[in-house]
Amino acid sequence: MTWLDAMFNYRNYMFHGGFEWSVRSREKFANLIDKNGWQQFFTCSTSGGEPWIYYLTNETIEDMPIRVGDMLDGLGEFAKNLPFELISEG
């Protein structure tokens, strides 16, 4: 769940804050990274020694299709195991 939590938090910051976040948002995200041990997922450029723009690491980007595929496989397996009464039309 760590990876998924990290990606959803990053998505929320990017979606709501755009590419360049406020100083307060950058501080909050840096704290989330430290608190949750997400250093392997993110990197950032800095300005004046402080985080400026956060990025996904190359490893995270390269791993993403595998992670998403695994999630889809899991959802498919879950759906296949639903009781017939829940998936039948009649």
Whether 13 is in a domain gets the answer: yes
> What HEC string does 11-63 produce?
HHHHHHHCCCCCHHHHHHHHHHHHHHCCCCCEEEEEECCEEEEEEECHHHHHH
* Overall pTM surpassing 0.95 (yes/no): no
Structural domain count, the chain: 1
CA pair distance 65, 85, nearest whole angstrom:
33
Residue 4 lies in a domain: yes
Tens digit of pLDDT for each residue in 16-46?
878 789 999 999 999 999 999 999 999 999 9
Is the residue at 57 inside a domain?
no
Which domain does 9 fall in, by range?
1-43
Decide if 78 is inside a domain: no
In a domain, 83, yes or no: no
- Other C-beta atoms lying within 10 Å of the C-beta of residue 14: 13
Let me know if residue 32 belongs to a domain: yes
Chain segment 50-75, per-residue pLDDT in tens: 999 999 999 999 999 999 999 999 99
